[in-house]
Amino acid sequence: MNSRERASTAPVCRLCAGPVRECVDLGRQPVSNAFLRPQDVGSESFFRLAVGICADCAMVQQLEAMPTSHMFRADYPYRSSSSDGLRRHFEQVAGWLRDTELTDPADLVVEIGCNDGLMLRTLGAAGVRHIGVDPSAGAAQAAAARGAEVRVDFFDERSAAEIRAERGPAKVIFSANTISHIADIDEIFRGVDRLLRSDGIFVFEDRYVADIIEHAYFDQIYDEHFYLFSVRAVDAMVARFGFELVDVEHIPIHGGSLRYTVARPGVRPVRECVARLIEDEARYGIGEHDTYVRFGQQIDRIGADLVALLTDLRDAGRRVVGYGATSKSATVTNYCGIGPDLVPYICDTTPEKQGRLSPGAHIPIRPHEVFADPYPDYALLFAWNHAEEVMAKERRFVEQGGRWILYVPHVRIV
């Protein structure tokens, strides 16, 4: 589609059909988790990664949706368990749900997009009735190996009805970093409506657009993150699907996320923090198009600064390697045009990624052990959301003269 054709079909909001105004364009991007074998270069899928904001409901959303079948395949390589911080987080969530909601032996918890079962295995070990739903067979296998019950499937009205028929309604439906991935989000809510007990809660965690803006976390925008949630937009969204947003909690996951608690209207008291956060968002312009246009300008600056720094280091004969072949790294490398000439390889602990090439930019992925053999002069930290954990683990790198390159909220060497 050329730009003139695009202009003639103004995008509309996926949720409320209001007009969506484009504000950030990150260019041609691949499927962010599609690490490819060298022989598969040339067969990748690309799409234009651009986001806009709905003038009516303020939901920030991508303008083109990559089909989910491209993204969450059997070989989907992301594993929550690869981070100690996430492991602790999900154990805490499991403890909280067990102590407050899942107190009766008959209570059922369903997790949408359970990945390798970090949370469910904790609940399962405590004897809580549970089932996870995840379309990635690999992740589900890993979850099953850890003792979590998983159904390899997409969560929608059909699968929700089948689970209800087999196990009864759910007291809690939980999901972390999944709901914003689904462009056709009404399928999710139809499923929740079908499966949730009348007094149950639907709890979901997702990256918070205000944190993304404040810290210029532009690489949180990639194919999988179709929506960037704000409290205002989520409040409107759940109301449209016949639910009520009753609680919101700020949590320090993935650079700043919110945990939303949703119930059927009138069933649970609405905590005052919901209205307060919506007011805060209005004060900071989180629902305003201009805010995102300025964000786009900030992204341009970061991209230019990062390429200039990497070019200078290369020309000075310095060795730079990437650390953490994250989905975020796909956005950064493809947006900036960073290839193996500037970053010869990326070290990563995930076996499924090693020996492959990064999507779009085709930077080789090497095992983590290569990082210290020998240490590079500089490491470009793509896994910045785990910066503290990574820097503590790699203390020797800095002791031996290595330096980290960070690029959000601005490019710097630390």
Q: Residues interacting with Zn ion, by CB under 5 A?
A: 13, 15-16, 18, 54, 56-57, 59
Distance of alpha carbon 270 from alpha carbon 247, whole angstroms: 6
Q: Judging by DSSP bridges, how do beta strands 403-406 and 60-62 pair with one another?
A: unpaired
- Cα dihedral across residues 93, 94, 98, 99: positive or negative: negative
Nearer to Zn ion by Cβ, of 18 and 409: the residue is: 18
Distance of alpha carbon 335 from alpha carbon 304, whole angstroms: 10
Say if CB 405 and CB 378 are below 8 A apart: yes
Say if CB 230 and CB 223 are below 8 A apart: no
Helix (H, G, I), strand (E, B) or coil at 194: helix
Nearer to Zn ion by Cβ, of 16 and 195: the residue is: 16
Closest by alpha carbon to 29, among 272, 331, 397?
331
Nearer to Zn ion by Cβ, of 118 and 210: the residue is: 210
Task: Give residue 383's identity as a one-letter amino acid code.
Answer: A
**Measured from the CB of residue 233, what is the shortest distance to Zn ion in angstroms?**
7
Distance of alpha carbon 149 from alpha carbon 6, whole angstroms: 45
Nearer to Zn ion by Cβ, of 236 and 299: the residue is: 236
**Measured from the CB of residue 260, what is the shortest distance to Zn ion in angstroms?**
17
**Measured from the CB of residue 59, what is the shortest distance to Zn ion in angstroms?**
5
Nearer to Zn ion by Cβ, of 226 and 378: the residue is: 226
**Measured from the CB of residue 227, what is the shortest distance to Zn ion in angstroms?**
10
Looking from the CA of 134 toward its CB, the CA atoms found within 13 Å total 32
**Measured from the CB of residue 323, what is the shortest distance to Zn ion in angstroms?**
38
Nearer to Zn ion by Cβ, of 15 and 263: the residue is: 15
**Measured from the CB of residue 53, what is the shortest distance to Zn ion in angstroms?**
9
Residue 122: other Cβ atoms inside 10 A:
23
